[in-house]
Structure 1
Amino acid sequence: MREFSLPALYEVPADGNLTDIVRRNAAQHPDVAVIARKVDGVWQDVTSVEFLAEVRALAKGLIASGVEPGDRVALMSRTRYEWTLLDFAIWSAGAITVPVYETSSPEQVQWILSDSGATACIVEQEHHTAAVESVRDRLPELKHLWQIDGGGVAELNRSGQDVPDETVEERGSRAKADDPATIVYTSGTTGRPKGCVLTHRNFFADCGNVVERLRPLFRTGECSVLLFLPLAHVFGRMVQIAPMIAPIKLGCVPDIKNLTDELASFRPTLILGVPRVFEKVYNSARAKAQADGKGRIFDKAADTAIDYSRALDAPGGPSLGLRIKHKVFDKLVYSKLRAVLGGKGEYAISGGAPLGERLGHFFRGIGFTVLEGYGLTETTAPTAFNPWDRQKIGTVGQPLPGSVVRIADDGEVLLHGEHIFKEYWNNPAATAEALADGWFHSGDIGTLDEDGYLRITGRKKEILVTAGGKNVAPAVIEDRIRAHALVAECMVVGDGRPFVGALITIDEEFLGRWAAEHGKPAGSTAVSLREDPDLLAAVQSAVDDGNAAVSKAESVRKFRVLPSQFTEDSGHLTPSLKLKRNVVAKDFAADIEAIYQK
């Protein structure tokens, strides 16, 4: 057993709650832009004083409508300015926010609203309203339904005009640090999602210590962050609250479809994203270089960036020759890549899944350091992350200041600290299992080095045992294979089988470009090309790269290319893009059997 801890850098208010942040910002930084919203395609800054006024007005509307202290208010919307505004307004009314993924089915909506006992629900668009209305007869406690795009915010503002400021102040100060701030329903790779109760203390401890440990990235009046993650996910929620604690300017966009344009217009100094975002930036840049006849130059530049980054960790640092090559490629390639990322940023924080060492070195080598972290819903997002000044690429960093990471005898990562969730809503049995002996049992397998840097090597429940008795953690090889531009998803199989195999889906966005470059018919799809020798050779190269990271017994011997991608709509991914392994295994049982046919 091994453990490591760091002292807290942020003092959690003894009895405060998250509404204190908005009032403090208005008092101490009245003219600082704490958030920005898009109006007719143009970013408009909102100062801390203006934001507080808008939060209060909406809180009054909720109070006037009958929302009581402790009530659960569901919020179903894409990431946008109003989401953050409503979140703080719900807290200012003394209520608890229950986020719902805007892609949720009516059945999922019904479960979350019913299990949480939500008395009110705020949705974004008409089809969200229709989803709630379709199950409303099974939601006897639901009294109110507002739609943002249907004038719901304006309606709440009007209805609260007669509520005095003192009422909002009294309501907003009722919740104490250990009271629930939100109930976040976990994605649920198996079974029904569980409602994870996160308190005001949890968010203060997590976000406050992140800000203080990464303070150069959170300089008030200088730094900014663009939020494009779903706010129904705890990582997105952390990205919303941490900038408010700092405070620095926060911008919100609904998705990553036009991310390059959004980065260019907002120009953030800090980006917080998931590995897929950084993979796509790299793959798109490489594909564009190849299309322009500059593929060899890009590949040399990428290799130089990786070599340069690796040399930074070696005694003596990069050689003179490597520094010269790096400087040349900085003008030719790296500066253009940084411009794609907004042009002002030097750092990003990545979480949600492993980034991969090669990609980590590539980005640091081009002058845009991606700090990898690790966390779960139950830890209020990051419970470990790489410090800005002592990064170890390939690890998820050191423990959150004020917390402890312990590796149990069986390799499971155990966690302790003020950021650990309070309970699962209405589920004492699951709570007792997860919080045994005063430690949160993460279900992840990992190791700690002598400096307290954590590596995650797999999920305890996802460990495969081959017929030969070899234990295989899928995450390591899956992440390496998925890093290839052509690969969308990879799921390793082999439990009880003679060797390890893999199911692989093709990235449809990249496939068209690859097909054109390799002389395939226009309109080629994964279905038409899944047996194509050139495509199989390209996928094999991805598999070979993945196999290089593991032992021979753990390597993928055979794979199957599937005819379509795994998606949330197909039921194979959770809203946070995690594989539902049991569903995939069931739906593609024939493909798995084909791998093991002699």
Structure 2
Amino acid sequence: MHQFNKLTIREVVLRFNREYSNRPAVSLTDSAPLTYQQLTSEIARLQVLLINMGIQKGDRVALLGSSSPNWVISYLAITSMGAIAVPLMPEFTPAEIGKALNHSEATLLIATEKQLVRIEAEELPYLHHKILLDTFTVKDDNYLLDAPVLGPENLSVLPEAEVEEDDLAAIIYTSGTTGNPKGVMLTHKNIVFDALQGFSVQDLNTGDVLLSILPLAHTYENTIGMMMPLIGGSCIYYLDKPPTASILLPALAKVRPTAMLSVPLVIEKIYKNSVLPRFTKSGLLKKLYGIPVFRRLFHRIAGKKLMKTFGGRLQFFGIGGAKLDPTVEKFLREARFPFAIGYGLTETSPLIAGGIGKKIAFQSTGPVLPDVKVRIDLSAGTEPGQGEIVVRGDNVMKGYYKRPDLTAEVLSPDGWFRTGDLGFIDQKGNLHINGRIKNMIIGANGKNIMPEEIESVINSYNYVVESVVVKKKDKLIAYVYLNRDEIEARLDEFIANARNSGRDAISNAEQAIDLFLKDLQKYVNERVNKFSQLQAVEYYPQPFEKTATQKIKRYLYY
């Protein structure tokens, strides 16, 4: 286990400079990595600039831009000098960015030129200074001449600072899936403690190479994808463009990562767009795929190909941020793909539970972290043994910034945090998540319905990309986004199936989709409780809007 005198981000920086000085630390995929010594020097140089611009302990400094080595340098410089980082998602609207900047009273913003242009029209009375993220040059009207600059090259020592475990390290603004942004206050101890707990799930060390594809402004990537490998002495590579297939595939081949973090949507897309079509493209293959022994064989073959796609060295593929589709999890298990599942929230820094896929129960998130306590509040449950997941530990936030009222709703005086998630712990200690309490639908007969459980069944059906289940006029309705291209490519097959089954003749994609939705409704209703059966399934023509971690913004579809 990694030893620290104090659980602070400053101690993380001092330690990695001491332990791993000449080892590679961070890099863009097409550049040579900075060593840990060089990373420390760049952090110190930026701190000199921040100090010369008047930044002191406790000041809020916002950070806005895509994940990159300079983002890492900025975050570590801000926090290890005792200032408070306010990481903002690049996907936030200008209004959301403005609201977060004003609410946090950030006096300085480190951002890309592109993001600065986006927020030019926002009223930002507290913001006095701006620094370009790409070059660390000052960009504001307060310095017409002699603008402060970075400290001298090859600085080897961080400027003096007193940073304590309970000091605030970051305020994380999360709009979540409800549309109401809140500033989550995380201390140094919260973040470093949770990163250290992550080593109980998977060790990361100097032999590991990571490829980052998630936003560093989200606490999942920040704690587990950045802080944890930096503690272990690993090397992290960042993309210089969004992770589309044309960017990601060459990067995987070049970096050949041993570890990655992802959200379920990424691996679900790979399965539905690349794996499944290969085994259902002909009647014979489809028939064989339906036989368990052949399905397992096909999955094993696909797993070997998938490993090659990821560079051939992958040992750990962490999945978190939302629940994994059961069909996809079954594929990953049978493919022997080295996946792991994690569960947590921004408010818990984020990890609460996690485990390696082959070692944990199917559709569970694995055991609770060793030094975190979880209890199930059965009074909030909808089924026997199920209840709200309540957490206590050094990973639990300090509260919501400037919102003691909201803090009191979820955080008890003795430190128990109400997650808002329903779940249970099985006999082997695996934590299972059923869904969000706020998403729960009350059926016409008074029964509690978890839409996520119905969506899981819908999403397991061929050609379904994603779905949202809502209640409208006392009816349970599913909106479904389909792989229309695949349906159109197989239109002849749909026409033949309709003819052979004695149904109304179809001749175009719209008619095929109508027929498909009827079959889908029947399929789902045969597999869910009577009170969870769908009254209608409607085609949705485009992907649903999502948060930065690819959770559907449900409030937009109620």
Q: TM-score, normalised by structure 1?
A: 0.81
Instruction: Give the structure 2 partner of residue 596 of structure 1.
Output: none
- Cα pair 1:99 1:232 within 8 Å, conserved: yes
Matched residue type, 2:275:
R
The offset of 1:160, in angstroms, is 3.1
Q: Which amino acid aligns with 2:217?
A: A
> Aligned pair 1:342/2:331, yes or no?
no
CA contact (8 A) 1:221 1:248 kept: yes
What amino acid does structure 1 have at the position aligned with 2:402?
A: N
* In 2: Cα distance, 1:305 partner to 1:197 partner: 50
- Are 2:407 and 1:431 aligned? yes
2:265 is aligned with 1:276 = yes
1:225 and 2:198 matched? no
Segments of 5+ residues of structure 2 without an aligned counterpart are: 140-145, 381-386, 494-506
The correspondence for 1:29, drawn from 20, 27, 38, is 20
State the shift of 1:290 in Å: 6.5
Say if 1:124 and 1:287 are closer, same or farther in 2 by CA, change over 3 A.
farther
Q: In structure 2, what is the equivalent of residue 143 of structure 1?
A: 128
**Alignment pair present for 1:133 and 2:120:** yes
Deviation of 1:267 after TM superposition, in Å, equals: 1.1
Report the counterpart of residue 256 of structure 1 in structure 2: 243
1:470 is displaced (CA, Å) by: 2.0
Q: Secondary structure at the match of 2:484?
A: helix
Task: Point out the structure with the larger helix share.
Answer: 1
Aligned to 1:512: 485
Which of 228, 241, 249 is the aligned partner of 2:227?
241
Aligned match of 2:342: 373
Describe the superposition over 1:457-491 as per-residue Cα deviations: whole angstroms up to 9, x where unpaired: 11112111111222101111213323556334311
Whichever residue aligns with residue 152 of structure 1, its letter is F
In 2, Cα distance between the equivalents of 1:252 and 1:164? 23
* Distance change (3 Å), C-alpha of 1:306 and 1:26: farther
Match of 1:209 among 197, 204, 218: 197
- Is the 1:305–1:361 contact (alpha carbons within 8 Å) kept by the matching residues of 2? no
Q: Is the 8 A contact 1:386 1:392 kept in 2?
A: no
State whether structure 2 residue 333 is matched by structure 1 residue 364.
yes
How far is 1:179 from its partner? 0.8
For 1:429, the aligned partner's letter is: D
Contact 1:56/1:92 (<8 A) preserved? no
Give the secondary-structure state (helix, strand or coil) at the position aligned to 2:32. strand
Residue-by-residue CA offset, 1:73-101 (whole Å, 9 max, x unaligned): 11111122221121111123321110111
- Does the Cα contact within 8 Å between 1:61 and 1:157 map onto a contact in 2? no
* Cα shift at 1:286: 2.8
CA distance in structure 1 between the aligned counterparts of 2:163 and 2:264, rounded to whole angstroms: 36
SS of residue in 1 equivalent to 2:270: helix
Deviations 1:409-440 (A, max 9, x none): 22111011100101100000111111025310
- Establish whether residue 558 from structure 1 lines up as the match of residue 536 from structure 2: yes
Match of 1:265 in 2: 254
Q: Equivalent residue for 1:383?
A: 352
CA contact 1:31–1:49 (8 Å) conserved in 2: yes
Unaligned runs of 5+ in 1: 1-8, 309-324, 521-528, 568-572, 586-598
Indicate the residue corresponding to 1:592 in structure 2: none
Deviations 1:161-208 (A, max 9, x none): 36996984313xx22111111100112433531100011111111110
The counterpart of 1:493, out of the listed 444, 467, 470, is 470
The answer for the alignment partner of 1:588 in structure 2 is: none
Amino acid at match of 1:133: E
Q: 1:306 to 1:30 in 2, by over 3 A?
A: farther
Superposition pairs of residues 541-556 of structure 1, within 5 angstroms: 546-547=524-525, 550-556=528-534
RMSD of the alignment, in Å?
3.0
Residue number in structure 1 paired with 2:510: 532
Task: Give the distance between the partners of 1:500 and 1:60, measured in 2 at CA.
Answer: 59
Task: Report how many residues are paired.
Answer: 527
Q: 1:121 to 1:541 in 2, by over 3 A?
A: farther
Quick one: which amino acid aligns to residue 256 of structure 1?
P
3-state DSSP of counterpart to 1:78: coil
Aligned to 1:419: 395
Q: Which residue of structure 2 aligns with residue 578 of structure 1?
A: 551
Q: Which residue of structure 1 lines up, in the alignment, with residue 501 of structure 2?
A: none
Q: Is the 8 A contact 1:305 1:362 kept in 2?
A: no
Deviations 1:348-391 (A, max 9, x none): 11111111232112112222132122111101122111246722
The Cα of 1:306 is off from its aligned counterpart by 9.3
Match for residue 185 of structure 2? Answer: 197
1:104 Cα deviation (Å)?
1.9
Aligned to 1:478: 455
TM-score, scaled relative to structure 2? 0.86
Cα deviation, residue 447, structure 1: 0.9
Aligned runs of 1:150-169 on 2, under 5 Å? 151-153=135-137, 159-161=149-151, 168-169=158-159
User: Could you say what secondary structure the match of 2:170 adopts?
Assistant: strand
Tell me, yes or no, if the aligned pair for 1:467 and 1:496 is still in contact at 8 Å. Answer: no
The answer to whether 1:461 aligns with 2:438 is: yes
**Structure 2 residue identity aligned to 1:414:** V
Alignment partner of 2:478: what SS? strand
1:237 Cα offset (Å): 1.0
Shift of the 389–103 alpha-carbon distance from structure 1 to 2, 3 Å rule, reads closer
Amino acid at match of 1:116: S
Q: In 2 relative to 1, CA 147–483 (structure 1 residues): closer, same or farther, beyond 3 Å?
A: farther
1:227–1:272 CA contact under 8 A, matched in 2: yes
Residue aligning to 1:526? none
Report the identity percentage.
28
Task: Tell me the amino acid that sits aligned with residue 396 of structure 2.
Answer: I
Can you list the C-alpha shifts for 1:204-227, whole angstroms capped at 9, x where unaligned?
Answer: 111101124422xx1x23222211
